Chain A
Amino acid sequence: MRHAFSVRIGPVGFRIGSDWRAPIAHLETLYRDYPKPLDGVPDFTVRLFARRPWRRFLRPSVEIGGDYMLPEAAPLPLRQGLLAAEMAMNLQMALGARRYLLLHASAVERDGRALLMTGVSGAGKSTLATLLAAKGWRFMGDEFVLLDPATGLVHAFPRLISLKNEGIAAAQAAWPDTRMGPLLRATPKGDIRHMVPDARAIAAMDVPARPALLVFPRYGFDPETRSVQPGEAFVRMTQASTNYVALGEAGFRGLTGLIADVPAIAVDYPDGPRAIEQVEALWADL
């Protein structure tokens, strides 16, 4: 493992080792303004490796490994090495995080209060968070929200924003001068491009926020907002968490606390700008 890179994102430090220079070079460039792990000690290790020594050169494909691994994870071609690194970091969090309850959601913050957006792939979590950040909200993350079960606060985890297909153009329109990773065509999840969060998001990554609104967005529908009852919201959030079960009692306290304190609204929207309007209206009514 001849190439390595370390970075801290919010409260979590990673060390990424790689058999190839290219993915590390991308990480160094895109995460250039981020801090290093606290005291130089990472929380998770990621390994990007070749299954056989000759596969470093011949049809090079990147296997994902690290502290936590899943069987049957298929390799990615080297030109998608940055995606492999990002997925590997997600995997470490999904399987290994124990300090915080992980919610699969994006989050933005205003006046110390956080708006959480959760849903399946394609619902618009990343794109909406990006558009809201362009309107003055502080970006906290687009993949995982870190909920502290003891305090009920959410902590920022602002990784590179993973934009897909039409979301790429929408985000670029909102952030024309922002640094982006390479356009990765035809990945298993479609076309993907990574965007660096804005300077304010990086500077404020250690500032938590109190969750104030939980939104379940759905892209490509006539605009409509409706309340989601606590029981339903609770079940949906257990499905949206990767470590709810592993956290046991703390997970239960954290999630029931969130549901008790935070209204949940389903937002159907036809396009980004309309969604922003709907969300701003909901926030104003809190």
Chain B
Amino acid sequence: MDISVYRAPPSDGLLIAPLDEFTAVYHRASGITHLLTDPAPQILVAVQDGARSLDALLVHLGRDYDLTDGTREALAARLEELVEAGLVERA
């Protein structure tokens, strides 16, 4: 069972600018700008105020959103992208 926890920089570590279906995110520590589409911005925000495991994140998102076709694997894939981009840390 995956016991990793995922964490994003605190709120002053990112600038988030929704544009349209895309959201631009500036990561202060790296100076890199990323372009995100849903659900990435929502995931990012969900792990900003504290680290969450994959399962905890699924529950948390499920409270605020209707995850009709959301699978655990899909969420893991999105988290992986965010980790690759340097926006989310895995511990």
Contact of A230 among B15, B19, B31 (CB under 8 A): B19
A230 touches B22 (CB 8 A): yes
A47 to B84, CA, bound (A): 43
A249 touches B20 (CB 8 A): no
B17 touches A231 (CB 8 A): no
B42 in the interface, Cβ–Cβ < 8 Å?
no
- Whole-angstrom distance between the Cβ of A167 and the nearest chain B Cβ: 33
Number of interface residues of A (CB under 8 A): 15
Q: Which residues of A contact B22 (CB under 8 A)?
A: 230-231, 234
B20 touches A260 (CB 8 A): no
A279 to B28, CA, bound (A): 38
Tell me what chain A mostly uses at the interface: helix, strand, loop, or mixed: helix
B24 in the interface, Cβ–Cβ < 8 Å?
yes
A256 touches B35 (CB 8 A): no
B31 touches A256 (CB 8 A): no
Contact of B33 among A230, A231, A238 (CB under 8 A): A238
Q: Which residues of B contact A5 (CB under 8 A)?
A: none
B19 touches A249 (CB 8 A): no
A260 touches B17 (CB 8 A): yes
A229 touches B20 (CB 8 A): yes
A95 in the interface, Cβ–Cβ < 8 Å?
no
- Residues of chain B from 5 to 58 with CB closer than 8 A to chain A in the complex: 15, 17, 19-22, 24, 26, 28, 31, 33, 35
Number of A-B contacts (CB under 8 A): 37
A256 touches B28 (CB 8 A): no
Q: Which residues of A contact B19 (CB under 8 A)?
A: 229-231, 234, 256, 259-260
Contact of B20 among A231, A244, A245, A256 (CB under 8 A): A231
A284 in the interface, Cβ–Cβ < 8 Å?
no
A256 to B25, CA, bound (A): 10
A252 in the interface, Cβ–Cβ < 8 Å?
yes
Contact of B35 among A229, A234, A249 (CB under 8 A): A234
- Whole-angstrom distance between the Cβ of B85 and the nearest chain A Cβ: 15
A248 to B15, CA, bound (A): 11
Q: What 14 new A-B contacts, CB under 8 Å, besides A230-B19, A231-B20, A260-B17? A: A229-B19, A230-B20, A231-B19, A231-B21, A231-B35, A234-B19, A234-B24, A238-B33, A249-B26, A252-B17, A252-B33, A256-B24, A259-B19, A260-B19
Show the binding face of B for A, using Cβ within 8 Å.
Answer: 15, 17, 19-22, 24, 26, 28, 31, 33, 35
Q: Give 4 nearest A-B pairs by CB, closest first.
A: A231-B22, A230-B19, A252-B26, A256-B17
